[in-house]
Amino acid sequence: MAEGSYVRIEGLKRYFDVSPPWLVRVLEGKPRQIVQAVDGIDIEIAKGETFSLVGESGCGKSTVARLVVGLYPPTAGRIEFDGNDIATRRGQGAHSALRRRLQMIFQDPFASLNPRWRVFDIIAEPIRAFGLSKDKADLEKQVGDLLRQVRLTPADGAKYPHEFSGGQRQRISIARALASRPEFLVCDEPTSALDVSVQAQILNLMMDLQRRLRLTYLFISHNLAVVYHISTRVGVMYLGRLVEEAPTDTLFRRPKHPYTRMLLDTIPDLDMTGRQRAPVAGEVPSPLNPPSGCSFHPRCPFANERCTVERPKALPIEGGSVACHAIEEGRLAIEDRSYAARG
Amino acid sequence: MAGNVPLLEVKNLRVEFPTRRGTLLAVDDVSFEIAPGEVLGVVGESGAGKSLTGNAIIGLLEPPGRIAGGEVRLEGQRIDNLPYEAMRKVRGARIGAIFQDPLTSLNPLYSVSRQLVETIQTHLPLSAREARARALDLLKQVGIPGAEQRIDHYPHQFSGGMRQRVVIALALCAGPRLIVADEPTTALDVSIQAQIIALLKKLCRENGTAVMLVTHDMGVIAETADRVAVMYAGRIAEIGPVRDVIKNARHPYTRGLMGSIPSLGVRTERLTQIDGSMPRLTEIPAGCAFNPRCTARGERCLVERPDLMAAGASRAACWLHDARGVGMPVPLAREAAHG
Amino acid sequence: MAGGTSFSRWLHRASDSDVWWSFRSSSLTIAAAVVTALILILSFLSPLLAPHTPFDPSTLSLSDGLKPPAWMPDGDWAFPLGTDDQGRDVLSAIMYGTRLSLVVGMASVFVSMLIGITLGLVSGYVGGVTDAVIMRIADVQLTFPAILVALLIDGVVRGLISVQRHDEIALFVIIGAIGLSFWVQYARTIRGSVMVEKNKEYVQAARVIGLSPVLIMVRHVLPNVTGPILVIATINLGLAVISEATLSFLGVGLPSTQPSLGTLIRLGNELLQSGEWWITLFPSITLAALVLAVNLLGDWLRDALNPKLR
């Protein structure tokens, strides 16, 4: 992997203890229960690129986002940002220079803005917290510029969040995230709650901003078409583990891991080629009780004995990596896929 | 539809909400038909009125919303003006419903078998034993593994996808001719979505049940529907065979919508974007509701409201397809960029 | 964003809001609001509006004693509601007494709010052992009726300090006692709301910026959980006034040199047997009207602010 990667995540783990209360456990003899939400992730993100994490619910991608941003401390592993270890930094209260450079955009446009604050104050808060403005006039100018940057107007600062539509609120969220002049943005499903046409506006905006401000994105999503459109590299997660990771074109045209193939098969055929989605059997197992060995083996058409006992390691291949015994053993052929252009 | 009586006929349907600020028209003069066994997709973004249309048809509009005009006919017979009891018999027996959230569609306090048997016995003259046998059969048809044991389980013991299958079984149990499905797959994971859609298609084909599929997800429509109606601001903007509407949309809104969806076939720098957003019910513009955001608009669009008119194999509510055209072009002002 | 225009915009929004509309459309609520306003004005402006100063001994004359209300024989329009055995005008006494009752009521509500909101915020946001401890204390306190708790606190203080000192600070003791007996309701309600809000993304956004928990609690969470507080406070005001009246009636509240409605009722009660009914009746009616009006307002407020009912 490249030297001097901008963001490097090594062996990241986060376990949640969801055991019943101690008294219940003692009286009813119930065991401790641990959810291994994130179970050893290795990712490298280069400066200026967009790395997307995809997966279905329960795969741990949102937890990874929150770990990177510092909302939870990791159970194990390292998170390095521009050479600094941010996993072991102290919790809240430290307005460190690193926090300023790393911000987050959330999924729910209705819950991510404080309904009692004016938009101006919402956007000004990071500027005030990090001491980035000289005086009131400068603060107003900065907030006005940020609002214009997300295609709203400075006059919108006087309004409250409920006066805006979902798409506009997401723009305000973006303006707030940009207020501290960050270099790295973690985006947790920023368009999943939006209508399709609004999503297009927000995605275009985010790509424009990335070009203009030279931002790096960690983009979490479950929507593969969106991910295809904006990512440089993609990582696929399943039950807390990274099963495959590759540059976007490689992942979509030459998917390797059986789960990746299955996910790509579920993308609807809007190009009306008549391709039927091949429904795959089974559902994502409960994270409380993950399968042994390779966690995908109960649903995998290519699983063998080894898959049920041994967890596959990440194998570097074709510019990315994949964690699959079948690939490693050469049992599974890698084919090219093509997608029709919409006419 | 050669000479058959359509299964469902909706004519000039209007749904309004009286509020203290005046009456809001949420569904404005909507008309369409569904043939027996056909799948009609009703697609639109939030606020377009598609869910309300579905609710009005099943008779589940929440007060103060009410049907203010038009008619709904099922197999030739009017159902929009039926009293509550009569409509209750129609619901379930002749129209089935599937809603978005499987968690709240099933009563958490009753076992699945009880809910199924109760529904079956309400609409069909079967004994308890016969009803239970039918329920079991339905559960197997919808693909619940181990149906014999699981039939007596409670909803919380099923996963999301399994629950939605139970909901489908419940909708089909009395053998309805039409199913109204409102966002049936939105709350589910993508891999489960594919399964549920395939199931719905298969069962409806096998039983000859027609489906009115309300959703915001074009992908689901592309795979499931025979025809699709695109709704905007309470009106139908375009309606036609699904292949036509998707590949060759005739209404500028539909075209913009299709362009907004990222495609795997080609990586563009920018997605097509329609500036602005759907107008609120209180601020619907005069003339064509889409005109403030339409790059192809003309003078006529600002004052005259278009009805659905022939446009290739579909029908679109757009003056572009009228002999007189749109008149002098009126370019969009810069302010349209702000929602 | 000039202050002037933002206030007028707020006014415009408030007058257009659902809350104001629901107020205007309920005549019962308007009536209750009018009664409350009337009582508030009359009592707080009592030095200006009262016809007499009943607690200044130099203005009293025993010959005015035990006069019945003005519309009865022997009545005197100078004393519209009659006088007590010392010659004190009942109407003026009610006005001054109500003022005192309201002062005690409002102040103790304020004390309850302060304790309850703080503990509720901390309990909900910090969680864990802190939460468990605070909630257990709340549970224990709830097993005692509020009056008993107030009595207890009052009794302890009386036992600790001398009688003259006590008379001077009686007002504060009463306020503290009643305040301490009603905080639990606030704490529990706030705690529930805080637990919901703290998982919302705007709180997470504030944590990402690195703000301290105290700042987040006060600036972000608190403004969003105060909705139900107003309703609780309004109903609590009625309860506090009644509690004070009860304590004074029992003789352990305010001393007779600073009589509140409760004290007046007690004084009149002693004279009830000898047929002078007006001395106890009119303060009782005032008390009942005040508490009823305040409770009705609280009911309306609860319904008006309930998003589900709108």
Contact present, B91 and B83 (Cβ < 8 Å): no
Look up residue C101 and give its amino acid.
S
Please give the mean pLDDT across all residues of chain A: 87
CA A127/CA C189 separation, integer angstroms: 33
Task: Tell me the mean pLDDT in the region C291-301.
Answer: 85
- Which residue of chain A has the CA closest to C10? A159
Residue of A92, A110, A156, A192 for testing the chain C interface, max C β-carbons within 10 Å: A92
Contact B58, B90 (CB under 8 A): no
Nearest by CB: A71 against C6, C207, C212: C207
pLDDT tens track of chain B, all 339 residues? 445 688 999 999 999 988 877 888 899 999 999 999 899 999 988 888 898 999 999 888 888 888 988 999 998 888 888 888 888 888 878 898 898 877 788 888 999 999 999 988 888 888 999 999 999 998 988 888 888 888 898 988 888 888 888 999 888 888 889 999 999 888 888 878 888 888 888 888 888 899 999 998 888 888 889 999 999 999 999 999 999 999 899 999 999 998 888 887 777 778 888 888 888 888 889 889 999 999 888 888 899 899 999 988 999 999 998 888 888 888 887 544 443
C3 domain residue, yes or no: no
Write out chain B residues lying below 8 Å of A224, CB-based.
190, 264
Amino acid letter, C84: D
Question: What is the Cα–Cα distance from C56 to B102, expressed in whole angstroms?
Answer: 74
What pLDDT is stored for residue B27 in this prediction? 92
Q: Which of B43, B192, B264, B268 to mutate to test the interface with A (most CBs of A within 10 A)?
A: B264
In DSSP terms, A76 is beta-bridged to A13
**pLDDT value at position A3?**
46
Is the predicted pLDDT of residue A343 greater than 50, yes or no?
A: no
CA-to-CA distance for A265 and A260, rounded, in angstroms? 9
Taking residues C221-242, report their average pLDDT: 86
Q: Scan for tokens 């990274």, then name that residue.
A: A242
Closest chain B residue to A222, measured at CA: B190
Rounded to 5 degrees, what are φ and ψ at B8? -125, 130
Residue C273 to residues C83, C85, C192, C268, Cα–Cα distance (Å):
16, 13, 51, 10
Q: What is the pLDDT of residues A228-249, one digit of tens each?
A: 999 999 999 999 999 999 999 9
Contact with chain B for residue A122, Cβ under 8 A: no
- Interface membership of B247 toward A (CB under 8 Å): yes
- Please determine, for residue A96, whether its predicted confidence score (pLDDT) is greater than 80: no
Average pLDDT rounded to a whole number, residues A27-52: 89
Q: Report which of B79, B38, B35 is spatially closest to residue B59, judged by C-alpha positions.
A: B79
Contact map slice: C 190-209 vs A, CB within 8 A: 200-202, 204-209
Q: Exposure of A59 by Cβ count < 10 A (0-12 exposed, 13-18 middle, 19+ buried)?
A: buried
ipTM given for this complex: 0.84
Could you tell me where in chain A the CATH 3.40.50.300 domains are found?
5-101+183-328
What pLDDT shows up at residue C166? 67
Chain C residues whose CB is inside 8 A of the A108 CB are 201
Q: What is the pLDDT of residue A56?
A: 87
- What is the model's pLDDT at position A61? 92
CA–CA separation, B163 and B150 (whole Å): 11
Name the residue with higher pLDDT: A93 or B48: B48
Cβ A129–C200 below 8 Å, yes or no?
no
List CB contacts of A119: < 8 A, sequence separation 6 or more.
A113, A147, A156, A157, A158, A159, A160, A161, A164, A172
Q: Which residues contact A70 (CB under 8 A, 6 or more apart)?
A: A86, A89, A91, A99, C207, C208
**CB-CB neighbors (< 8 A) of A342 in chain B:** 247, 258, 263, 265-266
Using CB atoms, which residue from A226, A266, A343 is nearest to B247? A343
Nearest chain A residue to C199 by CA: give it: A111
- Which residues does chain A have within 8 Å of residue C6's beta carbon, measured at their own beta carbons? 158
Q: What is the CATH number of the domain that holds C152?
A: 1.10.3720.10
CA–CA min distance C110, chain A (Å): 23
The single residue listed with the structure tokens 């901390």 is C122
Q: Are B180 and B54 in contact (CB under 8 A)?
A: yes
Q: What's the pLDDT at A181?
A: 92
What pLDDT is recorded for position C44?
A: 84
Q: What are phi and psi of B28, to 5 degrees?
A: -120, 95
Domain A5-101+183-328 has CATH 3.40.50.300: yes
Cα dihedral B98, B103, B104, B105, rounded to 10, equals 30
* Residue B297, pLDDT score: 87
Strand partners for A54: A221, A236
Please give, rounded to a whole number of angstroms, the shortest distance from the CA of B76 to a CA of chain A: 34
Mean predicted lDDT score pLDDT of chain C: 82
Distance CA B54, CA B10 (A): 11
Any chain A CB within 8 A of the CB of C223? Answer: yes
Least confident of A150-159, B14-23, C40-49: C40-49
Tell whether C122 is covered by a domain: yes
- Report how far apart, in Å, the C-alpha atoms of B306 and of each of A199, B168, B252 are: 28, 38, 13
Tell whether C224 is within 8 A of chain A (Cβ). Answer: yes
Q: What is the dihedral of CA A32, A37, A41, A45, to 10 degrees?
A: -150
For residue B194, list chain A residues with Cβ-Cβ distance below 8 A. 265-266, 277-280
Q: Which of C6, C212, C224 sits opposite A115 (nearest CB)?
A: C224
C218 or A2: which leads in pLDDT: C218
Q: How far is A113 from chain C (nearest CA, A)?
A: 5
Provide the number of CB pairs (under 8 Å) joining chain A to chain B.
138
CB-based contact A104 C205, cutoff 8 Å: yes
* Omega before residue B64 within 30° of 0, cis: yes
Residue A51, beta-bridge partner list? A218, A233
Q: Report the residue from A195, A207, A269 with minimal CB separation from B45.
A: A195
- The minimal CB distance from A283 to the residues B159, B257, B271 is found for B159
**Residue B272: burial class (beta carbons within 10 Å; 0-12, 13-18, 19+):** middle
- Which of A197, A265, A267 has the CB atom closest to B257's CB atom? A197
Q: What is the phi/psi pair of residue A14, to 5°?
A: -145, 115
In chain C, the number of structural domains is 1
Contacts of A165 in chain B (CB under 8 A): 277, 339
- Taking the C-alpha atoms of residue A87 and residue A64, their distance in angstroms, rounded to an integer, is 12
- From CA A272, how far away is CA A276, in angstroms rounded? 10
CA distance B196 to B202: 10
Which SS3 state, helix, strand or coil, does residue C21 take?
A: helix
Q: Write down the residue that tokens 């308890």 correspond to.
A: B128
State the nearest Cα–Cα gap between C210 and chain A, in angstroms.
5
Q: Is B187 on the interface with A (CB under 8 A)?
A: no
Q: Which of 279-308 (B) contact A at CB < 8 A?
A: none
In a domain, C6, yes or no: no
Highest-scoring range by mean pLDDT, B45-54, B329-338, C66-75, C227-236: B45-54
Are A270 and B243 an interchain contact pair (Cβ–Cβ within 8 Å)?
Answer: no
Domain-located, residue C12? no
E strand or H helix at C122: helix C90-126
Q: What is the pLDDT of residue B191?
A: 79
Task: Determine contact, residues B246/B254, Cβ cutoff 8 Å.
Answer: no
CB atoms within 10 A of CB B310: 12
C-alpha radius of gyration, chain A, whole number: 22
Answer yes or no: is C102 within a domain.
yes
Q: Which residues of A touch B262 (CB under 8 A)?
A: 203, 225-226, 228-229
- Provide, as residue numbers in chain B, all residues whose Cβ is less than 8 Å from the Cβ of A268: 217-220, 222-223
CB A102 within 8 A of CB A69: yes
Any domain includes C9: no
* Within-domain flag for C259: yes
Which A residues 255-294 touch B at CB under 8 Å? 262-263, 265-272, 276-280, 283-284
SS (H, E, C) B178-234: EEEEECCCCCCCHHHHHHHHHHHHHHHHHHCCEEEEEECCHHHHHHHCCEEEEEECC
- From chain A, the residues in CB contact with B277 under 8 A are 165, 167-168, 197-198
At C113, is the secondary structure helix, strand, or coil?
helix
Q: Please say whether the beta carbons of A230 and A52 come within 8 A.
A: yes
Q: Report the pLDDT value the prediction gives residue C39, as an integer from 0 to 100.
A: 86
Residue C219: count of CB within 10 angstroms of its CB: 16
Give yes or no for C103 touching A (CB within 8 A).
no
- A252 lies within 8 A of chain B by CB: yes
By CA distance, what is B247's nearest residue in A?
Answer: A343
Q: Report yes or no: C17 at the A interface, CB cutoff 8 Å.
A: no
In this predicted structure, the answer to whether residue A191 has a pLDDT above a threshold of 70 is yes
Domain containing C90 equals 19-309
Q: What is the pTM of this model?
A: 0.83
- Which DSSP category does C299 fall into? H
* Residues contacting B15, CB < 8 A, separation 6+: B25, B26, B27, B49, B52, B53, B56, B61, B65, B66, B67, B68
Q: Is residue C80 part of a domain?
A: yes
**DSSP states along C134-171:** HHHHHHHHHTS-HHHHHHHHHHHHHHHS-HHHHHHHHH
Q: Closest-CA residue in chain A for C212?
A: A93
The rounded Cα B88 to chain-centroid distance in angstroms is: 20
Residue to substitute from C198, C208, C212, C224, interface A, most A β-carbons within 10 A: C208
Instruction: Report the 10 Å Cβ neighbour count for C151.
Output: 20
Name chain C contacts of A120, Cβ cutoff 8 Å.
Answer: 1
Amino acid identity of residue B222, one-letter, is A
| Cβ-based contacts of C1 with chain A (< 8 Å) | 120, 157-158
Q: Are A13 and A57 in contact (CB under 8 A)?
A: no
Q: How far is A91 from chain B (nearest CA, A)?
A: 34
Q: Quick check: B218 and A196 CB within 8 A? A: yes
Residue of C nearest to A158 (CA): C1
Give the number of C-alpha atoms closer than 13 A to the C-alpha of residue C2, restricted to the C-beta side: 3
| The three-state (H, E, C) secondary structure of chain B, written as one string | CCCCCCCEEEEEEEEEEEECCEEEEEEEEEEEEECCCCEEEEECCCCCCHHHHHHHHHCCCCCCCEEEEEEEEECCEECCCCCHHHHHHHHHHCEEEECCCHHHHCCCCCCHHHHHHHHHHHHCCCCHHHHHHHHHHHHHHCCCCCHHHHCCCCHHHCCHHHHHHHHHHHHHCCCCCEEEEECCCCCCCHHHHHHHHHHHHHHHHHHCCEEEEEECCHHHHHHHCCEEEEEECCEEEEEEEHHHHHHCCCCHHHHHHHHHCCCCCCCCCCCCCCCCCCCCHHHCCCCCCCHHHCCCCEHHHHHCCCCCEEECCEEECCHHHCCCCCCCECCCCHHHHCC
pLDDT at A94: 44
A282-334, pLDDT tens digit by residue?
A: 777 878 888 888 999 888 888 888 999 999 999 998 889 999 998 888 888 88
Of B253, B288, B244, B289, nearest to B272 by C-alpha is B253
Pairwise CB contact (< 8 Å): B220 & A267: no
Pairwise CB contact (< 8 Å): A112 & C202: yes
Top-confidence residue, A274 or A96: A96
